[in-house]
Chains A and B, each alone.
Chain A
Amino acid sequence: MQQSNEQFEEETVNYTDFDTLLYPPQFAADCFGLTTRRLKDIEDENGIEIRRVPRGTVTSRAYTLRDIFDIAALRRAKGYAKGLPRQIVISTFVQKGGTGKTTTSVNFAVFLQLAGLRVLCVDNDPQGDSSSVFGYDPDLALSDLEAMGIPADRYVAGHFGSLLSPDLRVRCFDPMTFEEVVKKPFGENGPHLIPADAYLEDLAVALDAENNMDFWYAGWLERARSGEIPGVDISSYDVILFDNAPTASRLTKNSIVASDFVLCPVRMDKFSFRALMRLNDWMVRFAKAYRRSPGVLAIPTMFIRNRKRILNNLVVLNDLFPGRVSEEKLYYSEDYGKALDQGVPLLVWKGASSKTIDSMRSVFGEALKRIRDLAAQ
C-alpha cells in the first residue's frame, strides 16, 4: 500500500489522470457497502470485465474509477439502488470561510453518484475550488495545459453564467451550450460538473441589472428541467448540487432560492454559529415571503474527539438548531489535505484512513436519508 502511494505521487506532478488510478476489490466493494463476493457476482451476472493486475504470484482485479461508477449506474439500472421521486436541488453554504464547503460538496456529489443517483455538481464559486478538486484548474489557459502536458479537455471554457447568458440583458460572456460547458471527470456515469472560473463573478453584476435578481437560477433550472431550453435537458439528473462561496452574494442567494436542501458544514466555533444563525434568519424571512423553506442540515466539520470545549459547543449547536445537526461528524484529519494534494476527492482516495472515509460516509448517508424524506414530501 505504502509503496503504491509513493509511485502514485511521482506520476502526478501536474495533474491526476483518474483513468490511471487503480483500486483493489475491497475498496470498490466498500463504495457500495457490498462484500467483494457480491460485487464479483454482479460483475459476472452482467458480463463486466474488470482488468486484472499481477499481485505477487497471482493476478487480482483492479478497478478504475470509471469501472466503479459504471457499476453504480448499473446497480441503479437494475433497481438495486433507488433513485429519488423527484429532482432535488441542494446548496452547500455557510457564510464563513474554511469550514469545508468545497470538500463537502465534491465528496457528497461523489457519494450520491456511488449511491446510484445522477448528480450535476455546479461550481457556484468564482474561486473555482470544486472545479479544481475534480481536476479542472480554472486558472490555466489552453496554452498552459499544452505546456504542462495536461489533456485539453481539462480546460475550463465556460461556467453556469455561460448557460444563463442568452437570457441576460447584460451579456458579460458568450453563450455556450450545455454540452460545451459540462465536464465529466469520471466519464458519463460519474458525477457531471458545471465548472467555474473567475469570470463567474461578473454574473453577479449581470443579475443585479435584472428584475427578480434572486430568482434566475430557479427560473433557469425550471425551464431546463421542462425542456424549454433547446439543447438542454437536466431532468435526467436526480440531484443538482451547488457549491457556494462563503459570501452571501447574488450568486449564493440565487442558488439557495432554487434549493430544496441546504448543507451547512460548520466548525465548532462562534463564527460558524453566527453564520448559521444569519442563514437561518434569511431563510425565516424567505419563508415568510414565499411560504417555502428548504431543509437544512448542519454538519460539524474538523471535529476533534474528546475535546471538552468542542463537545460543549456541539451541545450548544444542537440547542440552537435542534434536529438540524447531523449525528455523525467529519473529524479533523490530515487526510483531507493529503487527498487535496493528490488531486482526488477524499471519498475515492485510497490513501485515506478508513476512519475518515467511514465517518464521511455515515454523515452523507444521514444527509441522503433526509433528502429522500424531503423528496417524498
Chain B
Amino acid sequence: MAKSEDYPGQKKAPPQWVTGVRPPTEIAEPNLRVSVADMLAAQRAEQEVSALSPGAVLAPASANNDESVAASDSGVLAEVKVDSIRVSPFQPRLTFSEAAIEDLANSIASVGLVKPLTVRPVGDGAYELIGGERRWRAHKLLGRETVTAYVRSVTDAMAKILALTDNEGQEALTEYERGRSYAAIMRAGEESSIRALARRVGVNHSIVSRCLLLMDLPEEVRAILDTNPGLIGGKWAKDFIEFSRTEPALLLQAVTSMRDHQWTQEHALRWLAKEVASRDQQKTPGKFTDKEISGIGKVRVDGKKVEFRCEKTVDAKRLAEQFEAFLKTIDRSLITNE
C-alpha cells in the first residue's frame, strides 16, 4: 500500500491553478495581415448589403440577383441566407410555441434539416417564406447562417395557397404509429435513452415515453391497432394500459368493439369499468340476506358477524348452549375459506 502523502511537515507542491480561472480554450495569435482599413472596408460592404434589403430601390447585378432569376416555377434547391428571409404575410399559423421550436431546433442541430423550406424571391437578394416558418425560426435560434430552401417564384395568390397547403399537406402521426417507430429505433439500439431519442426527433421526451407505453398493450390489441392506429391515444392511453395488465381479455373485447362499433375511447373505458365491477360483484356476493328458520328465528350475516334473532318462544340462553354443542361437531373444512 502506498504511503500517505498527507502528514505534517510534508512539502506540498504549490497549486498549478487559481480557483475560478479556467484556462482559455484558444489564444488569438497576433495577426495584423488584415489591416484596419481592410476591416473597415469589409464593415462598409456588409452595411451596404443590409441597406439593400427590402425597400431599397437600387438593384445592382449581384450573385443574389442571378439566383432569383434562376428560380423557376417548380423550384430550385438552394442554400439561402437566414437573414435574407422574411416571414410570409400569408402565414395561416397564428401562434408559435417557443418550446416546440426549441425541440425542432434540437432535432435540426442533431440530424439536420429533413424538409427544406419553401421561399420565393422578392428581389434584391431577399426572400419571403412560403412554408416552413417554424423550421426557419429554429434555424435562427440555432444561429445558422444559411438554410436549405426551395426557391420558387410564384404570385401572391399562389403563395397564399401554398402557405396553407404546406401546413395542411401533412397529417400528424398517431401516437401508436409514433410509438411503433420509436420502439423500433430503441430496439435496434440506435438511441440509448428516451431523452436522446427525443432530442434526435425533436419532440418532448414525455411524449416519446407516452407513445412508447402503447407498446405495452397485449399483442392481440396491437394487431387491431396495426390496422386502426388511431383507436387509442391521448390522455386515455394510460387507462387502457392499466386494463391491459389486469384484464387483457376484456380489453381485447372492448377494442374490438371500438373497431367494429365505433365506440369512443371514453365509452370503451366506461364499459370496461362496468364489466369489471359487475364480475367482481358476482364473485363476492354482498350481504347475506336474512334467512328465516321458522319457529326458531332469523340468521343474518354482517361481515364477520353472524347474528341470530330468536322468536319469542325460544330461550336464547338454551339456544346458545345447543349452538355451542353444534359448533363443536361442525366439519371445519366446510366453513374455512382456504
Residues A293 and B40 in contact, CB atoms below 8 Å apart: no
Is A306's beta carbon under 8 Å from chain B? no
Residues B21 and A218 in contact, CB atoms below 8 Å apart: no
Q: Name the CB-closest residue of B to A281.
A: B24
Is A82's beta carbon under 8 Å from chain B? no
Residues B27 and A290 in contact, CB atoms below 8 Å apart: no
Is B10's beta carbon under 8 Å from chain A? no
Residues B16 and A270 in contact, CB atoms below 8 Å apart: no
Q: Which A residues are in CB contact (< 8 Å) with B30?
A: 293-296, 374, 377
Q: Which B residues are in CB contact (< 8 Å) with A293?
A: 28-31
Near B by CB (< 8 A), chain A positions 268-299 give 270, 273-274, 277, 280-281, 283-284, 286-287, 290-296
Residues B43 and A270 in contact, CB atoms below 8 Å apart: no
Residues A374 and B28 in contact, CB atoms below 8 Å apart: no
Q: Which B residues are in CB contact (< 8 Å) with A312?
A: 14-15
Knowing A273-B18, A277-B21, A316-B16 are in contact, say whether A377-B32 is a contact too (CB < 8 A): yes
Interface centre among B22, B24, B28, B33 (most CB of A within 10 A): B28
State in angstroms the CA–CA spacing of A211 and B49 once bound together. Answer: 13
Q: Which A residues are in CB contact (< 8 Å) with B19?
A: 270
Knowing A292-B34, A312-B15 are in contact, say whether A320-B28 is a contact too (CB < 8 A): no
State in angstroms the CA–CA spacing of A308 and B35 once bound together. Answer: 43
Residue from B18, B23, B31, B47 in contact with A292 in the complex, judged by beta carbons closer than 8 Å: B31
Q: Name the CB-closest residue of B to A309.
A: B14
Q: Which A residues are in CB contact (< 8 Å) with B7?
A: none
Q: Which A residues are in CB contact (< 8 Å) with B20?
A: 270, 274
Is A315's beta carbon under 8 Å from chain B? yes
Is A358's beta carbon under 8 Å from chain B? no
Q: Name the CB-closest residue of A to B14.
A: A312
State in angstroms the CA–CA spacing of A320 and B15 once bound together. Answer: 13
B14 to chain A, nearest CB (A): 4
B11 to chain A, nearest CB (A): 12
Knowing A215-B43, A292-B32, A292-B34 are in contact, say whether A316-B24 is a contact too (CB < 8 A): no
Q: Name the CB-closest residue of B to A317.
A: B18
Is A2's beta carbon under 8 Å from chain B? no
Q: Which A residues are in CB contact (< 8 Å) with B18?
A: 270, 273, 313, 316
Number of chain A residues whose Cβ lies closer than 8 Å to a Cβ of chain B: 40
Q: Which A residues are in CB contact (< 8 Å) with B47?
A: 211-212
Near B by CB (< 8 A), chain A positions 234-281 give 257-258, 260, 270, 273-274, 277, 280-281
Q: Which A residues are in CB contact (< 8 Å) with B33?
A: 291-292, 377
State in angstroms the CA–CA spacing of A274 and B23 once bound together. Answer: 10
Is A331's beta carbon under 8 Å from chain B? no
Main secondary structure of the interface of B (DSSP, over half): loop
Residues A324 and B27 in contact, CB atoms below 8 Å apart: yes
Is A15's beta carbon under 8 Å from chain B? no
Q: Which B residues are in CB contact (< 8 Å) with A296?
A: 28, 30
Binary interface encoding of chain B residues 24-53 relative to chain A, with 1 for a CB under 8 A from any of its CBs, else 0: 111111111111111110110001000000
Residues B21 and A274 in contact, CB atoms below 8 Å apart: yes
Q: Which B residues are in CB contact (< 8 Å) with A377?
A: 30, 32-33
Q: Which B residues are in CB contact (< 8 Å) with A218?
A: 36, 39-40
Knowing A215-B43, A293-B28, A316-B18 are in contact, say whether A258-B36 is a contact too (CB < 8 A): yes
Residues A290 and B32 in contact, CB atoms below 8 Å apart: no
Is A365's beta carbon under 8 Å from chain B? no
Q: Which B residues are in CB contact (< 8 Å) with A202?
A: none
State in angstroms the CA–CA spacing of A270 and B28 once bound together. Answer: 21
Q: Which A residues are in CB contact (< 8 Å) with B35?
A: 292
Residues B21 and A283 in contact, CB atoms below 8 Å apart: no
Is B17's beta carbon under 8 Å from chain A? yes
B337 to chain A, nearest CB (A): 77
B299 to chain A, nearest CB (A): 90
State in angstroms the CA–CA spacing of A374 and B36 once bound together. Answer: 14
Residues B24 and A287 in contact, CB atoms below 8 Å apart: no
Near B by CB (< 8 A), chain A positions 200-250 give 211-212, 215, 218-219, 221-222
Is A321's beta carbon under 8 Å from chain B? yes
Q: Which B residues are in CB contact (< 8 Å) with A153?
A: none
State in angstroms the CA–CA spacing of A308 and B11 once bound together. Answer: 13
Q: Which B residues are in CB contact (< 8 Å) with A321?
A: 24, 27
Is A146's beta carbon under 8 Å from chain B? no
Residues B39 and A212 in contact, CB atoms below 8 Å apart: no
Q: Name the CB-closest residue of B to A268.
A: B18
Q: Name the CB-closest residue of A to B37.
A: A222
Is A319's beta carbon under 8 Å from chain B? yes
Q: Which A residues are in CB contact (< 8 Å) with B39?
A: 215, 218, 257, 290, 292
State in angstroms the CA–CA spacing of A268 and B320 once bound together. Answer: 101
Near A by CB (< 8 A), chain B positions 84-140 give none
**18 sampled A-B residue pairs with Cβ under 8 A:** A89-B36, A218-B36, A218-B40, A270-B19, A270-B20, A277-B22, A280-B27, A287-B28, A287-B31, A290-B39, A291-B31, A292-B35, A292-B38, A292-B39, A294-B30, A320-B24, A374-B32, A377-B30
Top 4 closest pairs, chain A to chain B, by CB: A293-B28, A295-B30, A292-B34, A312-B14
Chain B residues with a Cβ under 8 A of chain A: 14-40, 42-43, 47
Beyond the given pairs A280-B28, A292-B39, 12 more chain A to chain B contacts, judged by CB atoms under 8 angstroms and listed by A's residue number, are A89-B36, A270-B19, A277-B24, A284-B26, A284-B27, A293-B28, A293-B29, A293-B30, A293-B31, A315-B16, A319-B23, A320-B24
